[in-house]
């Protein structure tokens, strides 16, 4: 997508009064995932806009390859797999990764239902660069939601950058965590434009690979108040 299309996508989201692109009751496997180990995009229903935001973006981007760091119990994976089937017209390959073996039970549950799901076990900082290179992966939508340290966010962004297709995005969740925001911003963003995501609970930022000069475009919105003071 180009910057005009991304802005339209974010504006559509921002103008909506309530979510309308998803119903978790219709997601296959969702009910079997159980209790989360740490925070996730759903937080037992406390977050209503995160899934709406991903849904809007995949509907408008029409990605062929989606790759996330941070599987946890698989709420975001489950959402991407279900919503890709519903909103994307082409076949989608979905990759996820987590450092903990505790994720493996739910990985199996999702793989039993979805044959387009690949999982990588290990530290994304170490594992991603050789994996992406050896498999010559080109990604349309990358989600950074794994290691929430400064170095974790920075290295995940750096690892994804060369493998994102022109017009593709890197989405960074949990922008409210200072280390995540600073780490992500300290990756090199020449050739990209950066957009604040509206509505998204606790903040998120999208990096669009559009040949831009690393400019940061703020969105005048509600739920990310206090996150962009500078
Ligand atoms: C916030 S949770 C992910 C939530 C998930 N995306 C969701 O919304 O359902 C973060 C996950 O990242 C994993 N993680 C932490 N450090 C990691 C690393 N270096 N490499 C890969 N995964 C990591 C944790 O084990 C945890 O499950």
| pLDDT tens for each residue of 18-58 | 999 999 999 999 999 998 888 899 999 999 999 999 999 99
- Do strands 216-217 and 191-196 pair parallel, antiparallel, or not at all (unpaired)? parallel
**199 pocket-lining for ligand 1 (C-beta < 6 Å):** no
With a cut of 60, say whether residue 225 has pLDDT above it. Answer: no
Is 102 close to ligand 1, i.e. is its CB under 6 Å away? Answer: no
**Residue 142 Cα distances to 44, 128, 146, 170, 221, angstroms:** 24, 12, 12, 5, 24
Q: Spell out the domain ranges in the chain.
A: 3-19+48-217
- Taking alpha carbons only, the member of 25, 12, 117, 129 closest to residue 61 is 12
Ligand 1 neighbour 201 (Cβ under 6 A): no
Closest atom of ligand 1 relative to the 146 alpha carbon: 12
Give percent of the chain above pLDDT 70: 95
Ligand 1 atom nearest the C-alpha of 50 is 8
Topology (CATH level 3) of domain 3-19+48-217 = Rossmann fold (3.40.50)
Give the model confidence (pLDDT) of 192-215 as tens digits: 999 999 999 999 999 999 999 999
Q: What share of the chain is helix, strand, coil (3-state, %, to 5)?
A: 40, 20, 40
pLDDT for position 37:
84
Q: Which two tokens stand for residue 93?
A: 């390959």
Centroid of ligand 1 to alpha carbon of 4 (angstroms)? 31
């Amino acid at each position: 997508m180009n910057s005009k299309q991304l802005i339209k996508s974010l504006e559509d989201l921002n103008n909506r009064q309530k979510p309308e692109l998803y119903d978790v009751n219709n997601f296959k496997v969702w009910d079997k995932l159980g209790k989360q180990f740490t925070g996730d995009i759903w937080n037992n229903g406390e977050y209503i806009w995160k899934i709406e935001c991903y849904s809007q973006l995949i509907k408008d981007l029409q990605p062929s390859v989606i790759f996330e760091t941070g599987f946890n119990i698989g709420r975001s994976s489950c959402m991407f797999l279900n919503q890709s089937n519903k909103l994307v017209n082409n076949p989608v390959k979905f990759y996820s990764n987590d450092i903990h073996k505790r994720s493996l039970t739910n990985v199996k549950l999702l793989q039993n239902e979805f044959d387009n799901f690949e999982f990588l076990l290990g530290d994304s900082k170490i594992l991603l660069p050789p994996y992406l290179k050896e498999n010559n992966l080109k990604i349309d939508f990358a989600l950074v939601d794994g290691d929430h340290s400064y170095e974790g966010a920075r290295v995940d962004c750096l690892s994804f950058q060369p493998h994102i297709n022109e017009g593709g995005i890197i989405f960074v969740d949990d922008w409210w965590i200072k280390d995540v925001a600073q780490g992500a911003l300290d990756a090199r963003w020449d050739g990209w434009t950066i957009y604040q995501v509206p509505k998204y609970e606790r903040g998120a930022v999208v990096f669009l690979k559009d040949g831009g000069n690393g400019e940061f475009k703020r969105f005048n919105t509600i739920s990310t108040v206090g996150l962009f003071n500078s």
